Amino acid sequence: MTQSQPVADGEFLISAASTDLLDPQGRSLAAAVQWWELGGLPHRWPVAVLGEGPPLLLLHGFDSSFLEFRRLAPLLAPHHRLLIPDLYGFGFTPRPADGTYSPMGVLAHLEALLVALKAQPGLDGPLGLIGASMGGAVAVELARRQPDRIGRLLLLAPAGLTGRPMPLPPLLDRLGVRFLALPGVRRGLCRAAFANPDADVGPAELEIASLHLASPGWAPALARFARSGGFAGCGHPLPPQPLQVLWGTNDRILRPAQKRAALALIGERLQELADCGHLPHIDQPQAVAACWLQT
- Tell me the per-residue pLDDT of 132-154, one tens digit each, with 9 for 90 and over: 999 999 999 999 999 999 999 99
Please report, as a single letter, which amino acid is at residue 238.
L
CA dist 254 and 241 (Å) reads 25
Q: Where are the domains of the chain?
A: 10-293
4-27 per-position pLDDT tens digit:
444 469 999 999 999 999 999 999
Architecture of domain 10-293: 3-Layer(aba) Sandwich (3.40)
Gap between the Cα atoms of 75 and 206, Å rounded? 23
Phi, psi of 68 (to 5 degrees): -55, -30
pLDDT of the residue at 8: 65
Strand pairing partners for 49? 83
In terms of Cα–Cα distance, which of 204, 282, 210, 209 is closest to 250?
282
Mean of pLDDT over the chain: 94
User: pLDDT per residue over 239-279, tens digit each?
Assistant: 999 999 999 999 999 988 888 888 899 988 999 999 999 99
Candidates 75, 161, 148, 73; CA nearest to 117 is 148
CA neighbor of 63 nearest in space, from 155, 174, 177, 161:
177
Q: Give the rounded distance of the alpha carbon of 136 from its chain centre.
A: 8
User: Tens of pLDDT along 59-112?
Assistant: 999 999 999 999 999 999 999 999 999 999 999 999 999 999 999 999 999 999
Average pLDDT on 119-142 reads: 94
| Across 34-49, average pLDDT | 95
Q: How many CB atoms lie within 10 A of CB 142?
A: 26
Burial 44-82 (b: 16+ CB within 10 A, else e): ebbbbbbbeeebbbbbbbbbbbbbbbbbbbbbbbebbbb
The CA distance from 270 to 103, in Å, is 25
Residue 1 pLDDT greater than 50, yes or no? no
Q: In the prediction, which pLDDT does 125 show?
A: 86
Q: What is the DSSP string of 142-198?
A: HHHH-TTTEEEEEEES--SSSS---PPPTTHHHHHHHHHHSHHHHHHHHHHHSSSHH
